[in-house]
């Protein structure tokens, strides 16, 4: 929202005389006193002094009037909490402590509101993630835990959950795949346990090409590498030959 000036308080411009007075007063007087003498607000004086590059004088900074601006005399030490200080409200914010209307606006244990209430799903809910995999909610998120699909302890993949429930734990380095490739078909008869190495080979491009075509691509790659090495050797010789030719033309031994 744009701030608007009150109609009966038009903007006040600084005159040349006022700026000269500001230059004279600002270095040696408290800013509040400068504002009082000039009839300006404190923020207006600070703003004008900043534009003019004005600073408090060394004499003023060393005087008691400088207060928090003083350095080296530990100003404010008497107002600080000392080690071992007991807060005045210690022990007051106990469970159930709610003065005034606080009790009416406090969250109860297990209560959900707003987006948390709209996004909550009961245990056993099956949803589809952005990759098309089914996920099942197996428990509620603990305090401090993520509650979305990123927490696989709350929302594991459905195929892994089905396999674990019916066939036992999944060994390290293995994964559960679909025999028919349908990510929505999570029946145990359609699931198989494969190693990640076998899965990588299964998903490799070479396994989806005819053997003859794969061999041709590999031979072409080997031929290209051989040609690049020959070109590199030829470029090195070409770079050295002008030096030998120049030496021979001058009758020098190379």
- Mean pLDDT score across all residues of the chain: 82
Q: Is the pLDDT of residue 85 over 80?
A: yes
> Residue 44's pLDDT is what?
93
Would you give the end-to-end CA distance of the chain in angstroms? 83
Q: Is the pLDDT of residue 254 over 70?
A: no
> Residue 247's pLDDT is what?
47
* Contact call for residues 197 and 175 (beta carbons, < 8 A): no
pLDDT tens digits for range 192-214:
999 999 888 877 766 667 778 77
pTM of this prediction?
Answer: 0.44
pLDDT tens digits for range 30-82:
999 999 999 999 999 999 999 999 999 988 888 878 876 766 667 677 788 88
Which CATH code is given to the segment(s) 16-71?
1.10.10
**Domain 122-203 falls in which CATH fold?**
Homing Intron 3 (I-Ppo) Encoded Endonuclease; Chain A (3.90.75)
């Amino acid at each position: 929202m744009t701030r608007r000036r009150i109609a009966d308080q038009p903007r006040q411009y600084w005159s040349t005389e006022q700026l000269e007075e500001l230059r004279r007063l600002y270095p040696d007087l408290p800013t509040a006193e400068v504002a009082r003498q000039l009839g300006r607000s404190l923020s207006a004086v600070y703003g004008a002094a900043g534009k003019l590059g004005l600073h408090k004088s060394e004499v003023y900074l060393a005087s008691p009037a400088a207060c928090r601006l003083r350095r080296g005399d530990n100003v404010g030490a008497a107002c600080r909490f000392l080690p071992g200080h007991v807060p005045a409200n210690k022990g007051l914010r106990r469970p159930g402590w709610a003065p005034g209307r606080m009790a009416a606006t406090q969250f109860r244990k297990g209560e959900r509101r707003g987006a948390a209430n709209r996004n909550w799903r009961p245990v056993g809910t099956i949803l589809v993630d952005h990759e098309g995999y089914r996920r099942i909610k197996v428990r509620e998120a603990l305090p401090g835990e993520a509650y979305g699909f990123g927490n696989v302890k709350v929302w594991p993949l459905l195929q892994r959950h089905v396999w674990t429930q019916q066939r036992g734990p999944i060994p390290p380095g293995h994964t559960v795949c679909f025999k028919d490739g349908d990510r929505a078909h999570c029946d145990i008869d359609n699931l198989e346990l494969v190693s990640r190495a076998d899965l990588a080979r299964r998903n490799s491009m070479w396994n989806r090409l005819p053997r003859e075509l794969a061999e041709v691509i590999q031979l072409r790659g080997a031929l290209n590498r051989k040609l690049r090495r020959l070109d590199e050797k030829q470029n090195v010789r070409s770079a050295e030959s002008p030096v030998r030719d120049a030496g021979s033309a001058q009758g020098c031994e190379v």
